[in-house]
Amino acid sequence: MIRCGIILHPAGHTLSPVLHAEAYAALDLDARYEVFDIQAADLEPSLQRLRSKGLRQLSVSLPHKETVLALATKVSDQAKQIGAANTLTFIDDEIVADNTDWIGVLRTLEPLGPWAGKNATILGAGGAARAVAYALTRLSLNVTIVNRTPERAAEVAHDLGVQVGELRSNCDLLINATSVGMQPDIHDVPCDVAILQPSCVVFDSVYRPLETALLRNAREHGCRVQDGLDMLVHQAVEQVRIWSGRTPEAKRLRRAAEDAL
């Protein structure tokens, strides 16, 4: 049996075990996915311990996505540029770090395009915003970052070759990559949608709740909306592909996640 899991803190209610169990069932893989609550200060010894216990594949969530890069012996170009990893694979003596969050964004947005040359605004400047910015530059959008702490926005802009600015009416794609609107603060919104044209697509990376206050406001304003669950599903699909060489059906994983939510 292949042993996999997720490292995070606090453990909370992650959907990753549901997504991976569904993927392994769909592909008839003999694998078990476990949750490991690991505090930031314990990351290095914990990785060694998990490896010696036979773990081979790990998803990485908050607060480890950035710090784990320093412990990896190989880092993919994408993870390097984004500055964060959400996927670790132990291969012989190597610890290989990769990032599939950006693929989650790409796969979510591709069907809603075409996007080349259009204007995107990202709210937020954390790990999620970095993965979003990377995906949007791959889709050739003009990307502007807006963040509560301007210094962090400037860092993302510098590292990922995008610009800092503000939300304007010429925005074609608005992405919330902050945690604003997440349970339990479900009435909070990261911005006022009144400035947007109804042709703007609004994508919220938050998926608890599935329809955030931002998405509800945007829908009522006439905008097309996209929830954060497809991003989560597609990053998991890509992890399974990296680890097993096989691709589970995203729709099946989404149904399982919706049932769990």
Contact residues for ligand NAP, defined by CB under 6 A: 62, 101, 104, 124-129, 147-149, 152, 177-180, 182, 190, 205-207, 228, 231-232, 235
Output the CA–CA distances (angstroms, integers) from residue 110 to 48, 105, 135, in the order listed. Answer: 38, 9, 10
User: Which amino acid is located at 89 in the chain?
Assistant: T
Residue 65 annotated as catalytic: yes
Query: What is the CB neighbour count within 10 angstroms for residue 35?
Result: 16
**From the CB of 92, what's the least distance to ligand NAP, in Å?**
30
Tokens of 209: 């709740």
**From the CB of 169, what's the least distance to ligand NAP, in Å?**
21
Confirm if 245 and 23 have CB atoms less than 8 A apart.
no
**Nearest CB to ligand NAP, comparing residues 228 and 248:** 228
**Nearest CB to ligand NAP, comparing residues 51 and 80:** 80
**Nearest CB to ligand NAP, comparing residues 28 and 243:** 243
**Nearest CB to ligand NAP, comparing residues 62 and 186:** 62
| Rounded CA separation 257/247 (Å) | 17
Out of 65, 74, 80, 118, pick the active-site residue.
65
**From the CB of 175, what's the least distance to ligand NAP, in Å?**
10
Q: Please count the helices (runs of H) and the strands (runs of E) in the chain.
A: 9, 12
Active site residues: 65
